[in-house]
Amino acid sequence: MPGRDLDLLSEAAREAGAIARRFFEAGTAESWDKPDAAGPVTDADLAVNGMLSAELRRARPDYGWLSEESEDGASRLGDERVFIVDPIDGTRSFIAGEKAWAHSLAVVERGEVVAGVVYLPMMDKLYAAERGGGATLNGAAIEVARTKDLSKATVLSAKPNFADKHWKNGQPPEVKRAYRPSLAYRLCLVAEGQFDAMLTLRPTWEWDIAAGDLILREAGAVTGDRAGRDLRFNNRLPQVDGVVAGNAALHAALTKALA
């Protein structure tokens, strides 16, 4: 079942990329702000979401549905398997004409991600994983970096996460920080070993991280929330308490250092 799900997600992600790319290259996407300061959305987000909802739910009518751009409901909580989807992760980058935006698609089974895909159409980078099957980038196996010393690590993170208040002894002065706008892409860059670790300390929507969580774990990473607890998905409020990810040594060091 997970293997067939992975094929389904991969095909859907590429179709999503074709739709979003047309808007992006033509510069025709209209954008507006969602209520309650929930960030921007474009008609490209909605077009991708409509296609994914139709195609994935037609293929798996017994799966639940959770998407950033769909109205949520309680019915998914009783479903054994659930699609968790971000039609476009990095909408601000999309609007700005930058290429680092992605489609993030996952299948969750009883709280655990079992298949996941992150696709960056403007870079033609397809990250994919299924439970127990390893992680790939465009079909080639990937694994996390082996850096064990936090002082030699580069951590993908937004600057506010390094405020002293988040750390037991203040910001670790030796840690080098880098940033990419798409959270799903940040997770995948760590999975392929381009960066050593990542963290985000604010409450984090499940659709931003579900696919990336599995890709990371199948690439050899340890993932958890800011307190070191395992990430669980399809929660009533679809958020987790931040994300910390890296190889076992760096994950332990970051989690220990956090307040």
**pLDDT value of residue 1:** 40
List helix spans (H) across the chain: 2-26, 43-59, 91-96, 183-191, 206-218, 248-257
CA distance 82 to 155: 31
Note the CATH architecture for domain 5-141: 2-Layer Sandwich (3.30)
The reply, when asked if residue 19 is annotated as ligand binding, is no
Inter-axis angle of helices 206-218 and 183-191, nearest 10: 0
Q: Please report, for the chain, the start and end positions of each structural domain, with discontinuous segments joined by +.
A: 5-141, 150-257
Do 79 and 64 meet the contact criterion of CB atoms below 8 Å apart? yes
CATH number of 150-257: 3.40.190.80
Q: Could you state, in chain order, the average pLDDT of each consecutive group of 10 residues for the chain (259 residues)?
A: 81 98 92 86 96 98 97 95 97 95 98 98 98 98 96 95 91 87 96 98 97 98 97 98 98 94
225 annotated to bind ligand: no
Confirm or deny that 208 is annotated as ligand binding: yes
Enter the pTM of the model.
0.95
